[in-house]
């Protein structure tokens, strides 16, 4: 996530703080992002399994972002099979798309992926096929 933000002009800092992992700001914007990175690995055949995020995480992100005066964001990193997908979006939008009371459920089915890819408020990064390891 740090690499992609830096590649696109963001000034970034990795932080060790309960709730957020990255603080980032684009030089042309005054917005400072407090990003909580959530990553999940999926075995072949389970790539479409949803990502569950406990609502307590949202509270931690909110508190950290208040302390650092930044906008709460989530980066969801999901690798499965030959594809790794990253979704970067505001906590507010994530809450709207995943309204569960105790758990936010980020769906990974084809119809949901099409909606995420079409939404200009969601940054999507997709990596395919590791050639050599």
Instruction: CATH number of the domain at 74, please.
Output: 3.40.1350.10
Q: How much of the chain, in percent, has pLDDT values that exceed 90?
A: 77
Does any domain span residue 51? Answer: yes
DSSP state of 49: P
Q: What is the distance in angstroms between the CA of the first residue and the CA of the last residue of the chain?
A: 20
Q: What average pLDDT score do residues 21-39 get? A: 94
Backbone phi, psi, residue 69, to 5°: 55, 55
Does any domain span residue 133? Answer: no
**For the chain, what is the domain count?**
1
pLDDT-derived band at 44, boundaries 50, 70, 90: confident
Domain span including residue 86: 2-128
Residue 131 has pLDDT above 80, yes or no: no
pTM greater than the 0.95 cutoff: no
Q: What average pLDDT score do residues 37-51 get? A: 88
């Amino acid at each position: 996530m740090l690499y992609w933000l830096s590649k696109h002009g963001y000034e970034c800092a990795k932080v060790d703080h309960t709730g957020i992992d990255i603080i980032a700001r684009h030089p042309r914007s005054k917005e400072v992002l407090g990003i909580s990175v959530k990553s999940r690995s999926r075995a072949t055949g389970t790539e479409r399994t949803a990502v569950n995020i406990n609502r307590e995480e949202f509270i931690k992100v909110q508190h950290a972002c208040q302390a650092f005066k930044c906008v709460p964001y989530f980066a969801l990193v999901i690798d499965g099979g030959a594809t790794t997908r990253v979704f970067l979006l505001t906590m507010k939008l994530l809450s709207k798309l995943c309204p569960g009371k105790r758990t936010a459920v980020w769906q990974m089915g084809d119809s949901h992926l099409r909606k995420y890819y079409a939404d200009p408020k969601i940054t999507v990064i997709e990596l395919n096929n590791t050639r050599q390891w």
